[in-house]
């Protein structure tokens, strides 16, 4: 077996010392030294069928665990294929590290194999990007990359290592790098007291908790703050599940579908923790006229779109802990009435959504919400749902009960990247091998990385994929219909294809369903198979989610 000490082995030693357990990759000659180094250091190498999927799996690991996910790709087309995955992590602020091989230093400007200006290509979509030019510094650079990916406001890091550096022998005694991460920033004491005073006087406060809550592990601290002060919580992006949707002060997503968010917009004080005020929140327009508190580790973010009346530069967890520790007065009667009102509104809205949409599919097809209900009924408290697609994703985000951090994972709100579903599901299964992982996927997005079912089979990673098959790019089809009329469509029709047969052909479990009554049985059979499974479900193509309708009417998407 290849067992030598070189730059690749030093990278692997540093990853192992930092607690990295899995490396996602697609093999290439430029990175073989690293792959064998990982083999020798006990790091599980998960090879995919496309570099994009390897980069997505790194982000999926981060979303499921809160840890930095690591992938490795070869030079040239290897890194260019991974760019979409890196960009998605960049837009969703997920901590990942991409290690890329590169042409030998000595062959600059000689037209060597697979040569690109990789560093300049990735700089705009990473928070840290470097090339290591000395084998004995590979550990140092790897440790720095890991630290930068998770430091402060997280994001993707990139480390390029030329072939003649990665394969160069190094003494066995060469130092292994050690990531150094500074203590999370704490809020200014006077600014924190001002926020406490504002919240104490509020009768109808609310909290919007975003990805920063997930990355800082602030869920338990935020839950204690809500219980202490009576603060209704709404979650967005990777913040979903940081405080379980079943918690008495947690009200689920910031979507108007089936929840209390619309009623909560009558709030007098809004605390935005670790969340961007982008297009999903109408660039802050929903919050105008209210007292707004913004909490973020990244100071410039709080001036974007809508500056807060109080802007607190702080780690989300530290902010919640310190505000709770200094809180006085408990929960006022007005605050309790506000919470009770939102609970009643949420229950009524969910009932209305079920009554309006559930079971209304035409003959031979299923309403998309039926897929979400079936998954939620079967899933159990520890299960993970990955949602990938356009219209189908909005149903999943609205209808699934997120019971823990990283248990509801979906596409990046801001990049809108489809095809993440299967890689994310595989990473989630690696993170939680003893619990069920479900993927709710549109038929369009399924096609982007469908061959990663082969990766699932080769690495023994069973999950259940329910394809909502409306025979089209559904969100785009409805977008065209709403804006241009439903009499003609352009480049949105796919046809109902037997995706389940493809998965069966690879060796997995596959089944076609067109009756809501058969959904739960199909899920049970898929779970019992112990195989990566695809349940191909014919859904009503005429059903359009309220979110898609609103976006189309606004000319978005």
Q: What are the angstrom distances between the C-alpha of 207 and each of 190, 239, 256, 324, 535?
A: 21, 12, 16, 14, 37
pLDDT of residue 17: 96
Nearest to 203 by CA among 227, 221, 223, 229: 229
361 pLDDT band, cuts 50/70/90, is very low
Note the helical H segments in 76-218: 77-92, 118-122, 138-150, 163-166, 189-201, 211-215
* Span 253-295, pLDDT tens digits: 987 776 788 888 999 999 999 999 998 888 999 999 999 999 9
Question: Using DSSP, how many helices (H) and how many strands (E) does the chain show?
Answer: 22, 18
Lookup: tokens for 419: 């095809």
Residue ranges covered by each domain of the chain:
7-166, 189-347, 358-553
In which element (H, E) is residue 23 found? strand 22-25
Q: CB pairs under 8 A, 24+ apart, for 488-496? A: 494/443, 494/444, 494/447, 495/471, 496/443, 496/469, 496/471, 496/538
Q: Is the sign of the CA dihedral 413, 417, 422, 424 positive or negative?
A: negative
Determine the average pLDDT of the residues in 391-397: 90
Look at residue 2 and tell me whether its pLDDT is greater than 90.
Answer: no
Determine the average pLDDT of the residues in 501-509: 98
Nearest to 421 by CA among 460, 452, 399, 395: 452
Look at residue 221 and tell me whether its pLDDT is greater than 80.
Answer: yes
Partners of 25 in beta bridges: 47, 72
pLDDT of residue 350: 76
* Span 55-109, pLDDT tens digits: 999 999 999 999 999 999 999 999 999 999 999 999 999 999 999 999 999 998 8
SS3 351: helix
549 pLDDT band, cuts 50/70/90, is confident
Q: Are 71 and 146 in contact (CB under 8 A)?
A: no
Give the 3-state secondary structure of 279-308.
HHHHHHHHHCCCEEEEEECCHHHHHCCCCC
Q: Are 274 and 216 in contact (CB under 8 A)?
A: yes
Nearest to 410 by CA among 126, 214, 116: 214
Into which CATH architecture does domain 189-347 fall? 3-Layer(aba) Sandwich (3.40)
What's the pTM value of the predicted model, to 2 decimals? Answer: 0.95
Outline where DSSP puts E strands in 163-243. Answer: 205-209, 233-235
Distance, in Å, from the CA atom of 106 to the CA atom of 527, rounded to the nearest integer, reads 53
Look at residue 247 and tell me whether its pLDDT is greater than 80.
Answer: yes
Nearest to 81 by CA among 42, 28, 44, 37: 28
Q: Average model confidence (pLDDT) for the chain?
A: 93
Q: How would you label 194-225 residue by residue, b for 16+ Cβ within 10 Å and e otherwise?
A: ebbebbeebebbbbbbbbbbbbbebbebbbbb
Look at residue 551 and tell me whether its pLDDT is greater than 80.
Answer: no
Look at residue 352 and tell me whether its pLDDT is greater than 80.
Answer: no
Distance, in Å, from the CA atom of 276 to the CA atom of 529, rounded to the nearest integer, reads 42
Rg (CA), the chain: 24
Q: Which fold has domain 7-166?
A: Rossmann fold (3.40.50)
Look at residue 205 and tell me whether its pLDDT is greater than 60.
Answer: yes
Ordered strands of the 44-47 beta sheet: 44-47, 22-25, 69-73, 96-102, 156-162, 128-131
Determine the average pLDDT of the residues in 456-464: 98
Distance, in Å, from the CA atom of 383 to the CA atom of 464, rounded to the nearest integer, reads 11
Tokens 């935020």, located at residue? 222
Burial-class residue 180 by CB neighbours within 10 Å (0-12, 13-18, 19+).
exposed
DSSP state of 177: P
* Span 312-335, pLDDT tens digits: 999 999 999 999 999 998 899 999
Q: Does domain 358-553 have CATH number 1.10.286.10?
A: no
Determine the average pLDDT of the residues in 393-409: 91
% of the chain beyond a pLDDT of 90: 76
Lookup: tokens for 120: 């300049």
Determine the average pLDDT of the residues in 215-238: 96
* Span 125-172, pLDDT tens digits: 999 999 999 999 999 999 999 999 999 999 999 999 999 999 999 998
pLDDT of residue 113: 87
Distance, in Å, from the CA atom of 544 to the CA atom of 364, rounded to the nearest integer, reads 18
Q: Do domains 7-166 and 358-553 have the same CATH topology?
A: yes
Q: What are the angstrom distances between the C-alpha of 414 and each of 87, 88, 159, 260, 365?
A: 11, 9, 25, 23, 31
* Span 431-452, pLDDT tens digits: 999 999 999 999 999 999 999 9
């Amino acid at each position: 077996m290849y067992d030598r000490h070189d730059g690749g082995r030093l990278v692997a030693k540093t990853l192992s010392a930092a607690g990295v357990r899995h490396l996602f990759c697609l093999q290439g000659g430029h990175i073989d030294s690293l792959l064998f180094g990982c083999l020798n250091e006990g790091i599980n190498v998960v090879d995919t069928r496309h570099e994009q999927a390897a980069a997505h799996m790194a982000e999926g690991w981060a979303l499921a665990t809160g840890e930095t996910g690591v992938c490795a790709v070869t030079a040239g087309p290897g890194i260019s294929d991974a760019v979409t995955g890196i960009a998605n992590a960049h837009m969703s602020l997920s901590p990942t590290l991409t290690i890329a091989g590169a042409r030998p230093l000595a062959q600059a400007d000689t037209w060597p194999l697979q040569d690109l200006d990789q560093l300049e290509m990735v700089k705009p979509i990473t928070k840290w990007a470097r090339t290591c030019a000395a084998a004995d510094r590979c550990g140092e650079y790897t440790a720095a990359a890991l630290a930068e990916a998770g430091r402060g406001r997280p994001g993707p890091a990139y480390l390029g290592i030329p072939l003649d550096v990665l394969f160069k022998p190094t003494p066995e005694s060469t130092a292994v790098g050690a990531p150094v991460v500074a203590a999370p920033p704490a809020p200014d004491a006077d600014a924190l007291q001002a926020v406490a005073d504002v919240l104490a006087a509020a009768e109808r406060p609310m909290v919007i908790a975003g990805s920063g809550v997930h990355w800082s592990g602030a869920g338990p601290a935020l839950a204690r703050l809500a219980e202490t002060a009576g603060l209704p919580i709404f979650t967005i992006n990777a913040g979903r599940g940081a405080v379980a949707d079943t918690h008495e002060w947690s009200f689920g997503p910031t979507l108007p579908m089936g929840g209390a968010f619309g009623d909560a917009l009558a709030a007098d004080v809004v605390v935005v923790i670790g969340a961007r005020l982008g297009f999903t929140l109408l660039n802050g327009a929903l919050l105008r006229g209210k007292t707004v508190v913004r909490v973020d580790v990244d100071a410039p973010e709080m001036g974007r779109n809508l500056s807060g009346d109080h802007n607190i530069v702080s780690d989300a967890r530290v902010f919640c802990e310190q505000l709770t520790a200094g809180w006085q007065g408990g929960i006022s009667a007005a605050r309790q009435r506000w919470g009770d009102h939102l609970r009643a509104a949420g229950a009524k809205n969910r009932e209305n959504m079920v009554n309006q949409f559930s079971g209304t599919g035409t003959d031979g097809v299923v309403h998309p919400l039926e897929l979400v209900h079936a998954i939620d009924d079967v899933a159990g408290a520890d299960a993970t749902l990955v949602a990938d697609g356009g219209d189908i994703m909005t149903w999943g985000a609205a209808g699934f009960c997120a019971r823990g951090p990283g248990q509801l994972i979906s596409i990046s709100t801001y990049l809108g990247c489809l095809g993440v579903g299967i890689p994310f599901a595989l990473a989630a299964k690696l993170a939680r091998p003893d619990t069920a992982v479900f993927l709710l996927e549109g038929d369009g997005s399924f096609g982007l990385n469908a061959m990663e079912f082969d990766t699932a089979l080769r690495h023994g990673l069973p999950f259940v994929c329910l394809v909502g098959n409306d025979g089209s790019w559904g969100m785009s089809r409805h977008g065209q219909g709403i804006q241009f009329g439903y009499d003609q469509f352009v480049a949105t029709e796919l046809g109902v294809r037997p995706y389940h047969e493809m998965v069966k052909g690879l060796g997995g479990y596959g089944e076609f369903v067109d009756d809501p009554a058969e959904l739960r049985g199909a899920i049970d059979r898929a779970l019992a198979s112990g195989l990566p499974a695809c349940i191909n479900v014919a859904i009503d193509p005429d059903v359009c989610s309220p979110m898609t309708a609103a976006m189309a009417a606004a000319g978005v998407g």
